[in-house]
Structure 1
Amino acid sequence: MYFPSNIKYFLYLFFFGGLFSAQTKVLVNKNATKETQNLYKNLWILLDKGIMFGHQDDLGYGVNWRMQEGRSDVKETAGDYPAVFGWDLIHFENEKNGPIDFFSFKEMKKMMEDVYNIGGINTLSWHTSNPKTGKDAWDNTKESIKVILPGAEKHSLYKSWLDKIAKYLSSIKGRDGKNVPILFRPYHELTGDWFWWGKGNCSSEDYKKLWIFTYEYLTNYKKVNNLIWIYNTSDFNTKEEFLEFYPGDAFVDMISFDKYLYNNPVQDNSFVEQSQKQFKIMDEIAKEHHKIPALAETGYEEIPYNQFWTKTLMEAVGPYKISYVLAWRNHGLNHENKMHYYVPYKGHPNEQDFKNFHDDEKTLFLKYIQNTNIYK
């Protein structure tokens, strides 16, 4: 059939343009499980529906309670579970206790499976021990990355850590027998200097080498095909700063940053202003690189401002589309005899504002995404 040249041109744009658009929204791991691919596809769809709310260790403990089946501070205040459930692999590589000693990794596995079974989303970070010193992730001894890169003296040690993690991640399965998809966020907050992999403690080239090796070892060698990979920073002021450690589009599915509020927002609006600046930059990068953006950690400890959720946080996000916002954990009384929590509990003065936040048409909790069948 003959088509005029202008018609040919539009057909070209329609077919190949559409094909290219579809190709940019697939996982970097082409062998990802069907459920993981479906989740990623639905994350793109949900990006146009609203912002999913997440909470760290939500099912494991809350203020004044520990490991009680079905409990959740989010559920007890907002009337709904979060859509995204955060977890961490801290100390896993050294076979120590669970994330903060409130539950074991075996118990965490069950909770992650429960989240999948009810249609929620799991995201996992890794406060990796310093391989150079043997201390924790906050031991920011410089050049610690170098000892675990290929050919270095502790490269075999690092591979043994990844072997343990691969076995664990591959063992997390739903009642349908399928591997549970996980949003994986290793080596996070990289623009800060508090972790041994952070800016100032290693070169960007070494960070990229570590990320790429980690991705390729888990994906290509260990065949861990249920991960969606998230690149994560803390504060930044330019595109160049955000992307300085970026390992490349072939190794990243989502981009994000972490940002906490420390000062009364009535007296200090810097959290909103700086967040808006960072969201603008990340939004441009997400569109240019075809990646899903998120606010991977946030919060205001003890939430002493009664409009944090509906005013401060929503103003901070502004008009920008992000996949989810995750509040940090509700530890309760910590070892310093100080209250440490980021989501209101039943009876907290901020409870009503959190309910209003839940009811906002822009926010998505578990019940909403359950209706979307995100894994199918």
Structure 2
Amino acid sequence: MKIQKLISFLSLLSCTFFINVPAQDLSNQNATPETKNLYKNLGKLLDRGIMFGHQDDLGYGVNWRMEKGRSDVKETSGDYPAVFGWDLIHFETGKNGPIDFFSFKEMKTMIEEAYNMGGINTISWHTSNPKTGKDAWDNTKESIQVILPGAEKHQLYKDWLNGIAKYLKSIKGKDKKQVPILFRPYHELTGNWFWWGKGNATPEDYKKLWTFTYDYLTKEKQVNNLIWVYNTSDFKTKEEFMEFYPGDQYVDMISFDIYEMGDPTKDNSFVENAQRQFRIMDEVAREHHKIPALAETGYEQIPYDKFWTETIMNAVGKYKISYILAWRNHGLTRENKMHYYVPFKGHPNEKDFKNFHDLENILFLKDIQRESIYK
């Protein structure tokens, strides 16, 4: 079986697109050595396969909360994910944590733990609407304008960034080095559900927000442990993917988010849409020398027993991407709904997920630990 998988993988590799990502293309030339090394090795890992990631993996699972060493991914696949996703939602409001299950202090400890194990951390930021004071999903139009330089709430935004900068710089491993972070702010920009998204903000204002945020964090606050990730959702053309793009000097990686919303046994639109978007993103990655990724994906409750080995693998197809990150395993929500994207022990999809883990071109934590990605 293993030989057959290897033959299949080599066949796939022979027709896979090659993306040349020079190490010097990291946007921040003052980045820490560990951050530069991670970026260089992310480029090299494209030839090895696709890393698997999971949101909030160490913090909670479907039937547990904050139990050290636990992970639904590990308990079903036998290994931790290679990429660990986190979010700074509510940080700017002064709230104790991003979610009721753990605080920002505890999240910092888990990020450091992932780094100490040799894993990779990525952080998004569901930023509160600065115009209304409501959450990120309050898509009041022209909210970006109130925090741009010279605008009425620009100082408020700088105060938010001051707190973010202090927090990100404080995250250090047992080697006393700052932990490199794949930073993915203002994500899913081609959707209209966030206040910074298409239809609620102009491309010009979005670019001003991104470039100010980048310059303030990297140049003013000297946050040198970030790899900047540009992120979209659905798009039909290359022009649409690039419409809000702030420029190569402000971006290190490009990505999109896409979720299975139908029944893959009856509807192939998820695979077809993903293939169209991967084709476009691959072209952009090669032209701009940026590392591509699938920053969020999944199928809520995973009611299909071949989702990983068939649906996801067919969606990615022959394209080289850095990682796939599945969304979080919340479990039962306040609305009495089960919300999870990775199987837990005893779930019907567990076998397929284990088979997905065993594929030669899918990389979990043990696969990248041997690479010394920060050196």
Structure 2: how far apart are the matches of 1:108 and 1:306?
Answer: 32
CA contact (8 A) 1:61 1:330 kept: yes
TM-score in terms of structure 1 length: 0.94
> Percent identical across equivalent pairs?
78
Structure 2: how far apart are the matches of 1:243 and 1:96?
Answer: 34
Residue deviations 1:252-285 (CA, integer Å, cap 9, x gap): 0000000000101010000000000000000000
Structure 1: how far apart are the matches of 2:338 and 2:22?
Answer: 47
CA contact (8 A) 1:26 1:37 kept: no
User: Are 2:181 and 1:191 equivalent residues in the alignment?
Assistant: no
Shift of 1:100: 1.7
CA contact (8 A) 2:22 2:40 kept: no
Partner of residue 8, structure 1: none
Residue deviations 1:290-348 (CA, integer Å, cap 9, x gap): 00000000000000000000000000000000000000000000010000000000000
Residue deviations 1:152-198 (CA, integer Å, cap 9, x gap): 00000000000000000000000010000000000000000000000
Shift of 1:97: 3.1
CA contact (8 A) 1:286 1:292 kept: yes
Shift of 1:26: 2.9
User: Are 2:290 and 1:286 equivalent residues in the alignment?
Assistant: no
Task: Specify the code of the residue in structure 2 equivalent to 1:364.
Answer: L
CA contact (8 A) 1:26 1:40 kept: no
Structure 2: how far apart are the matches of 1:73 and 1:22?
Answer: 33
Give 3-state SS (helix, strand or coil) of 2:183's partner.
Answer: strand
User: Are 2:336 and 1:341 equivalent residues in the alignment?
Assistant: no
Shift of 1:81: 0.2
Ranges in structure 1 where 5+ consecutive residues have no aligned partner: 1-20
Structure 2: how far apart are the matches of 1:24 and 1:356?
Answer: 33
Task: Specify the code of the residue in structure 2 equivalent to 1:57.
Answer: D
The two structures, once aligned, show a CA RMSD in angstroms of 0.8
Give 3-state SS (helix, strand or coil) of 2:25's partner.
Answer: coil
Partner of residue 372, structure 1: 371
Task: Specify the code of the residue in structure 1 equivalent to 2:35.
Answer: T
Structure 1: how far apart are the matches of 2:24 and 2:358?
Answer: 30
User: Are 2:256 and 1:257 equivalent residues in the alignment?
Assistant: yes
Task: Specify the code of the residue in structure 1 equivalent to 2:359.
Answer: D
Task: Specify the code of the residue in structure 1 equivalent to 2:294.
Answer: L
Structure 2: how far apart are the matches of 1:155 and 1:76?
Answer: 46
Task: Specify the code of the residue in structure 2 equivalent to 1:283.
Answer: D
Partner of residue 212, structure 1: 211
Task: Specify the code of the residue in structure 1 equivalent to 2:286.
Answer: K
Matches within 5 A, 1:1-376: 25-376=24-375
Residue deviations 1:200-241 (CA, integer Å, cap 9, x gap): 001000000000000000000000000000000000010000
Shift of 1:22: 7.4
Task: Specify the code of the residue in structure 2 equivalent to 1:61.
Answer: Y
* Structure 1 segments (4+ residues) deviating >4 Å: 21-25
Give 3-state SS (helix, strand or coil) of 1:29's partner.
Answer: coil
Task: Specify the code of the residue in structure 1 equivalent to 2:65.
Answer: R
Shift of 1:243: 0.2
How many residues align? The count is 356
Residue deviations 1:79-134 (CA, integer Å, cap 9, x gap): 00000000000000011131221100000000000011010000000000000000
CA contact (8 A) 1:26 1:41 kept: no
Structure 2: how far apart are the matches of 1:255 and 1:301?
Answer: 24
Structure 2: how far apart are the matches of 1:353 and 1:281?
Answer: 29
Partner of residue 9, structure 1: none
CA contact (8 A) 2:21 2:291 kept: no
Task: Specify the code of the residue in structure 2 equivalent to 1:302.
Answer: Q
Give 3-state SS (helix, strand or coil) of 2:236's partner.
Answer: coil
TM-score in terms of structure 2 length: 0.94
Structure 2: how far apart are the matches of 1:251 and 1:364?
Answer: 28
